[in-house]
């Protein structure tokens, strides 16, 4: 079996109500799906980037990565990765970012092909599962595009997640003055009650001093974790924040090099590391991060913000993660990883979504069909094609 072609599908659509977080307002949703075909007719799928890559990434996948992969046996993944990373190093594309995100979709598609070829889910190729289902948390509660958004509207949104069976919810902070954000978190906490895990995500909005001040208030509101409180490369800031607070500190969603994860973990800067399979270089890279995290006794809760292709890949990965630390009966979030389920408006994701990948009473079932266990509707690709 040899790779015959690598094709990238750039999808894009406007959304009716733009929404924002601390660093950005989005009037669109986009996705970059990678299709890898073999000479014996198999088709593998992957997703590059967590909804942030532009159309130029599709050209990069086809023109820069395609020639490095075409003609190779997908089972020679180690050799393919070596060749690709040598090319990245020669061109100065190392360190993560655009190149690593683009590679991620190609790499995941190769795993999908391998699983299909042997008739086993990707999780089996990664070493086997420790769970068949995983608790999901709803990511939502963003700001609207032009204002703080009335907290009552976000409270109603939060209660909708609770009614759908989610036991955990994540909301945005960092887009308002700290006192306003803390007041909003307090109101959401009051509405959902004390039995719901409530997490907050600042998307790198603060310096260390501000993050510490905000974090102390969040501790009083029993927030389950404080995500990306400072800039993703501010190692000393992360360490200072973690030393000063008892609320767990999480991050790592956009990192794309093992060195970046090494520095955060060795620096004792995180309680939970959040690699994204679509950003970090793919499943093999995510597994390397997980092994590294285990050496530092740090939990791994993957970041996910994409279409069902990204959801399926992350489910295959998370199903293989052991509890941290090893316990016979792990508790969700304490030792057992939880799965991020993007609940923001995303017409592309919604058009591709199947019931098998929808949470049921707050839980997701890991696909057990060969490869990623999904199919891609080509009518959806045509409807949202933007390149």
Active site residues per annotation: 303
Q: Tell me how crowded residue 194 is: count the other CB atoms within 10 A of its CB.
A: 9
Q: CA 42, CA 3: separation in Å to the nearest integer? A: 9
Q: CA 163, CA 48: separation in Å to the nearest integer? A: 32
**On the CB side of 58, how many CA atoms lie within 13 Å of its CA?**
17
Q: Which helix (H) or strand (E) holds 357?
A: none
Q: Phi/psi of residue 93, each to 5°?
A: -100, 10
Q: Phi/psi of residue 232, each to 5°?
A: -65, -20
Rg (CA), the chain: 20
Q: CA 310, CA 260: separation in Å to the nearest integer? A: 22
DSSP assignments along 221-245, one per residue: TT-S-EE--S-TT-HHHHHHHHHH-
**On the CB side of 279, how many CA atoms lie within 13 Å of its CA?**
21
Report CA-CA distances (Å) from 219 to 158, 245, 328.
Answer: 20, 8, 29
Tokens of 241: 């924040």
**Mapped to the 3 state alphabet, what secondary structure does 12-64 carry?**
EEEEEEEEECCCCEEEEEEEEEEEEEECCCCEEEEECCCCCCCCHHHHHHHHH
Tokens of 297: 């006794």
The residues with which 121 forms a beta bridge, in sequence order, are 371
93 within 8 A of 99, measured Cβ to Cβ: yes
**On the CB side of 210, how many CA atoms lie within 13 Å of its CA?**
17
């Amino acid at each position: 079996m040899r790779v015959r072609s690598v094709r990238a599908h750039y999808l894009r659509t406007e959304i009716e109500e733009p929404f924002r977080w601390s660093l950005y307002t989005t009037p669109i949703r986009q996705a970059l799906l990678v299709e890898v075909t073999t000479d014996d007719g198999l088709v593998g799928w992957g997703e590059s980037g967590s909804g942030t890559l532009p159309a130029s990434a599709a050209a990069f996948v086809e023109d820069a990565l395609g020639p490095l992969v075409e003609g190779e046996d997908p089972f020679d993944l180690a050799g393919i990765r070596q060749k690709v990373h040598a090319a990245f190093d020669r061109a100065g594309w190392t360190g993560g970012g655009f190149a690593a995100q683009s590679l991620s979709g190609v790499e995941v598609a190769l795993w999908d092909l391998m699983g299909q070829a042997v008739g086993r889910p990707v999780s089996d190729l990664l070493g086997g599962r420790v769970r068949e289902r995983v608790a999901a948390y709803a990511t939502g509660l963003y700001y609207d595009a032009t204002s703080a958004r009335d907290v009552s509207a976000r409270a109603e949104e939060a209660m909708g997640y609770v009614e759908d069976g989610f036991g955990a919810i994540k909301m945005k902070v960092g887009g308002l003055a700290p006192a306003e954000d803390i007041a909003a978190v307090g109101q959401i906490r009051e509405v959902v009650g004390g039995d719901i895990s409530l997490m907050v995500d600042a998307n790198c909005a603060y310096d260390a001093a501000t993050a510490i001040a905000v974090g102390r208030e969040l501790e009083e509101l029993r927030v389950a974790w404080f995500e990306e409180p400072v800039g993703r490369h501010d190692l000393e800031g992360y360490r200072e924040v973690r030393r000063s607070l008892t609320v767990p500190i999480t991050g790592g969603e956009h990192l794309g090099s093992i060195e970046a994860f090494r520095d955060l973990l060795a620096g004792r800067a995180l309680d939970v590391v959040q690699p994204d399979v679509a950003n970090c270089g793919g499943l093999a890279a995510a597994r390397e991060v997980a092994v590294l995290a285990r050496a530092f006794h740090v939990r791994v809760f993957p970041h996910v913000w994409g279409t069902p292709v990204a959801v399926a890949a992350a489910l295959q990965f998370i199903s293989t993660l052991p509890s941290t630390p090893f316990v016979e009966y792990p508790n969700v979030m304490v030792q057992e990883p939880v799965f991020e389920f993007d609940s923001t408006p995303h017409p592309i994701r919604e058009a591709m979504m199947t019931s098998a990948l929808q949470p049921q009473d707050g839980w997701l079932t890991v696909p057990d069909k060969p490869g990623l266990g999904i199919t891609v509707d080509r009518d959806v690709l045509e409807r949202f094609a933007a390149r």
